[in-house]
Amino acid sequence: MERVQRLVKRAKKGDDAAHTALRQMLDTHPEIWQTVGNLGNHAELSLIELVFQNDPLMLESVRRFAQRLRTNLLTDYSGQFERMTVQRVVACWLHLQYVDTCRAAVHSEDREDGTRRPKTKDCQVLNLV
């Protein structure tokens, strides 16, 4: 992976040879581009990290729950379309849980400390909708 990072750094600086070498590496190691290029996974992890950035237990638990949900929805015979659909279903589920949590926080009764504010500033936008 260190070699890939060096090639990326050189390619970003305009090194054509590094760009060519990077393409060749991706050709011979498709697992790299299949992992790095999976935007669905990036979106899912970004949402989980946004919501639970300061809570490692929740972050890891929700990440694992999403993985289990995905595994339960797929079968050994699932094709590419089914895998993409399930990935989107899990992402939508996560997003809706986030929105529901924010809405509940915005519209909740006063807490013991007297606040009614949501945990993140992002939730405040939902109150306008």
The tens place of each residue's pLDDT in the chain, 129 residues long, gives: 788 899 999 999 999 999 999 999 999 999 999 999 999 889 888 889 888 888 899 999 999 999 999 999 999 899 999 999 999 999 999 999 888 887 777 666 555 665 555 455 556 555 544
Distances (CA, A) of 95 to 48, 53, 100: 9, 15, 9
Q: Rounded CA gap, 66 and 98, in Å?
A: 13
Residue-level pLDDT at 109: 54
Residue 129: per-residue pLDDT: 45
Instruction: Look at residue 101 in the predicted model and tell me its pLDDT.
Output: 81
The count of other CB atoms within 10 Å of the CB of residue 46 is: 11
Instruction: Say what the pLDDT of residue 1 is.
Output: 79
Give Cβ neighbours of residue 83 (< 8 Å, ≥ 6 apart): 74
Residue 100 to residue 77: CA distance in whole angstroms: 33
Q: Which pLDDT score is estimated for 65?
A: 95
Determine the pLDDT at residue 104.
76
| Rg over CA atoms, the chain | 20
Distance in angstroms (rounded) separating the CA atoms of residues 102 and 67: 23
